[in-house]
Amino acid sequence: MTTSGGTLVLAPGFKEPGHVRPPGPYARLFRIPGARAFTAGNLIARLPMGMFGVSAVIMIAGARGSYALAGAVTATGLAATALVAPWTARLVDRHGQARVAVPATVVAVLGELALLLCVRHGAPDWTLFAAYAATATIPNTGGMSRARWAHLLKGDPAALHTANAFEQAADELCFMLGPVLAALLCSALFPEAGTLAGALLLLTGVLVFAAQRATEPPVSAPAPGRSRSPLRTPGMAPMLAVFLATGAVFGAMEVVTIAFADGPLAGPVLALQAAGSCLAGLVYGRARRRAGLRTCLAAMTALMALPLLAATTAGSLLALAGALLVAGMATAPTMVTGMSVIQRLTPAGRLNEGMTLAVTALLAGIAAGSAAGGWAADHADPAYGYLLPVTAAAVALLTAAASHRTRPWLRPSGWLRPSG
């Protein structure tokens, strides 16, 4: 505001010549040459990760009339992935992302197509298990993307923190949209449409991602320090136990919510939890101060009590949806901080393997949490099944607390120096 002839008037603000607003932390990330291209390919490849399980269940249950068979087949695929994924990641570290990820993806896509054909043409049940087990070679695209950021942002902890937060938000977004897309395709087109679309997206995304060779971490000759498995690194075992318990939080929460909602609203209600986590992850990525792992786990344990309170006291699906939205806000910061610890613990040259071990522990926890949540839903009031996520989060917190005094990697790293 200014005066003109004794009259108060509005005037445009003055800016110095050449003044340009500095870019935000996420904008700075994608100014790195090649970052947008490999991120686009990675997101395309990561979206099917939330599609394959739902698509397989719909496809198998619709053709064979058995949800038990569909669940057993998908569980077999999950178990096979837990066994094969670390070996695939080790090959990626030794020979490079493009050389390993592309053929591994081709094998996985052939497994998905084999499953589709076996279901379509009424092949014996055992062929479904064999075909879906072949999909275990799907590479950990999220881990490969994080490895690229770690290579590109070496020496810039603030920018790397932002990149890890973005990757976690991308995980949440893909696992939120993937099941919805799969269900839509299978119901609107034909039962095999979700599996077919997921296979095409996976192959396309990995090819685009692998083509970005300029940002791929270099492969160096093995050294004595690199020959040691990440599993033998001090502190890795407790961290994997934390990821195992955290996975149980997710698995139990999903199954118990489905049982509690008992209808088509279960999907949107669960999507709110993922949405809360996605938003919290993006906000956490802009923070200049990073919380310690114990702090994140304590917050997650406290917020996981909200769905329990909403289900047991209000008993309203609307109240539960709000509680899940808030509870989800604790998961992304926890995962971002946990993955940062894994990156610091993993020996040089074994980053893909270290992060894949964390994902494997997470998947094992999800499987265990799903089984426990299903048992609780069948044998008790589903509302009290929300005790399971709270308990699993508390176990993760206690595991981290038990190692706090002797493990400095669990402590917060304090203020992050701004990048740029």
**What pLDDT does residue 172 have?**
74
For residue 360, how many other CB atoms are within 10 A of its CB? 22
Please tell me whether residue 251 adopts helix, strand or coil conformation: helix
Torsions phi, psi of 168, nearest 5?
-70, -40
Give the pLDDT score at 418. Answer: 45
Q: What share of the chain in percent tops pLDDT 70?
A: 84
Average pLDDT of span 403-418: 51
Q: How far from 114 is each of 78, 118, 158, 177, 202, CA to CA, in Å?
A: 17, 6, 45, 25, 15
221 is written with which tokens? 């000759």
Q: What is the pLDDT of residues 133-179, one digit of tens each?
A: 888 888 888 888 888 888 888 777 778 878 877 887 787 777 777 77
- What value does the mean pLDDT of the chain take? 78
| Residue tagged 């919380």 (tokens) | 291
pLDDT at 121 over 60: yes
Label residue 321 by pLDDT band (50, 70, 90): confident
**Residue 417: CA atoms inside 13 Å, Cβ hemisphere, count?**
6
Q: Which helix (H) or strand (E) holds 289?
A: strand 289-290
Residues in CB range of 158: below 8 A, 6 or more apart = 25, 288, 416, 417, 418, 419
**Above 60 in pLDDT, residue 409?**
no
User: What would the mean pLDDT of 106-130 be, rounded to a whole number?
Assistant: 89
**b/e for 25-47, b at 16 or more Cβ within 10 A?**
bbebbeebeebeebbebbbbbbb
Mean pLDDT calculated for residue range 200-219: 87
Whether the CB-CB separation of 167 and 277 falls below 8 Å is answered with no
Direct distance between the N- and C-terminal alpha carbons of the chain, in angstroms, rounded to an integer: 34
If phi > 0 it is left, if psi is from -120 to 50 it is alpha, else beta; for residue 289 that is beta
Digit-coded pLDDT (tens) for 348-364: 667 777 777 888 888 78
State both tokens at 152. 């590109």
What is residue 138's DSSP assignment? -
Q: What is the DSSP string of 311-337?
A: IIII--HHHHHHHHHHHHTTHHHHHHH
Token pair in block for residue 200: 């095409």
pLDDT of residue 187: 77
CA 408/CA 191 separation, integer angstroms: 51
- 112 or 74, which is more confident? 112
Kindly tell me if the per-residue pLDDT of 3 is higher than 70.
Answer: no
- The pLDDT, as a whole number, for residue 225 is 47
Contact (Cβ atoms closer than 8 angstroms) between residue 259 and residue 372 = no
CA–CA dist 89, 167 (Å, integer)? 18
Q: How sure is the predictor about 184, in pLDDT bands with cuts at 50, 70 and 90?
A: confident
C-alpha–C-alpha distance, residues 320 and 308, integer Å:
8
Is the per-residue pLDDT at 245 higher than 70?
yes
The whole model's pTM is what? Answer: 0.72
pLDDT digits (tens, 9 = 90+) for 364-375: 887 777 777 777
Q: What percent of the chain has pLDDT over 90?
A: 7
pLDDT at residue 110 tops 90: yes
Question: In which band, very low, low, confident or very high, does the pLDDT at 27 lie, cut at 50, 70 and 90?
Answer: confident
Radius of gyration for the alpha carbons in the chain, expressed in angstroms and rounded: 23
CA angle 415, 160, 137 (to 5 degrees): 140
User: How far from 66 is each of 41, 58, 116, 187, CA to CA, in Å?
Assistant: 36, 10, 16, 18
Which of 29, 32, 244, 42 lies closest to 143 in space, CA to CA? 42
Structure tokens at 137: 């070679």
**134, 114 in Cβ contact below 8 A?**
yes
pLDDT in tens, 247-262: 888 878 877 777 777 6
